[in-house]
Amino acid sequence: QVTLKESGPALVKPTQTLTLTCSFSGFSLTTDGMCLSWIRQPPGKALEWLARIDWAGDKYYSTSLGTRLTISRDTSKNQVVLTMTNLDPVDTATYFCAREETRGYFDSWGQGILVTVSS
Amino acid sequence: DIQMTQSPSSLSASVGGRVTLTCRASQTISKSLNWYQQKPGKAPKLLIYGASNLATGVPSRFTGSGSGTHFTLTITSLQPEDFATYYCQQSFVFPPSFGQGTKLEIK
């Protein structure tokens, strides 16, 4: 059974750095073709893909947010970490991690974590 | 980036009825189109991948079709649990992108 769960702070101040952790089980991120992505959703708005790390450790970022994002993995702990710098209130959103299948669809999702950016 | 446009943004339908949701891509994406269902406060759930393939455990009343730039999701015999927001997502080119969603409400 595949499970994913996001953890991190619920409240962050503007200009601070956000660090989110996705802990997963039921699959190996080192299996050929396996990827894990971060996706966010501002309240009442659509989904926005942020970043991906794949089975080889290659990293991919949103074209609009790329310079603010860093994704990394700890394969021994089955965890993927996303950091986002210079937070702004517009970054207030629910952040999801999701397993991304080879063909590019997200077949398993975490429950999401709501992060509010406010002073 | 490829822009995904969904229509309508919302619609009302009755239990037992049938609806068709549309998703258009700003450039051709072959059949690399996926559909998700999201209920309030929950994570999205994969319904359809590769334009027309039903994800595991998804009822057969959900049907996806299309290729190129025009795609549809049809739901027949609507059940109370089907009222939710539906998102399309292209996986043809990097970066993956989502539509803005269609909210399906009970009439």
Confidence of residue A5 (pLDDT cuts 50, 70, 90): very high
Chain A residue numbers touching B96 (CB-CB < 8 A): 37, 49, 104
Residue with tokens 């702990």: A77
CB count within 10 Å of CB B98 equals 22
Nearest Cα residue in chain A from B33: A105
**For residues B61-79, average pLDDT:** 98
The answer to whether the CB atoms of B96 and A101 lie below 8 A apart is: no
How far is residue B26's CA from residue A24's CA, in Å, rounded to a whole number? 34
In the 3-class helix/strand/coil scheme, how is A1-43 assigned residue by residue? CCEEEEECCCEECCCCCEEEEEEEECCCCCCCCCEEEEEEECC
**For residues B85-102, average pLDDT:** 97
Does residue A103 surpass a pLDDT of 90?
A: no
Does residue A61 surpass a pLDDT of 90?
A: yes
Does residue B3 surpass a pLDDT of 90?
A: yes
Q: What is the mean pLDDT of chain B?
A: 97
Q: What is the pLDDT of residue A86?
A: 97
Tens digits of residue pLDDT in B6-18: 999 999 999 999 9
Does residue B69 surpass a pLDDT of 90?
A: yes
Mutate to test the interface with B, among A5, A39, A40, A47 (most CBs of B within 10 A): A47
Does residue A101 surpass a pLDDT of 90?
A: no
Chain A residue numbers touching B89 (CB-CB < 8 A): 47, 105-106
Chain B residue numbers touching A48 (CB-CB < 8 A): 98
Q: B66, B73, B64: which is closest to B22 by C-alpha?
A: B73
- Percent of chain B surpassing pLDDT 70: 100
Q: What SS3 state is found at B71? A: strand
Does residue A106 surpass a pLDDT of 90?
A: yes
Confidence of residue A66 (pLDDT cuts 50, 70, 90): confident
Q: What is the pLDDT of residue B38?
A: 98
Residue B100 C-alpha, separation from nearest chain A C-alpha, in angstroms: 5
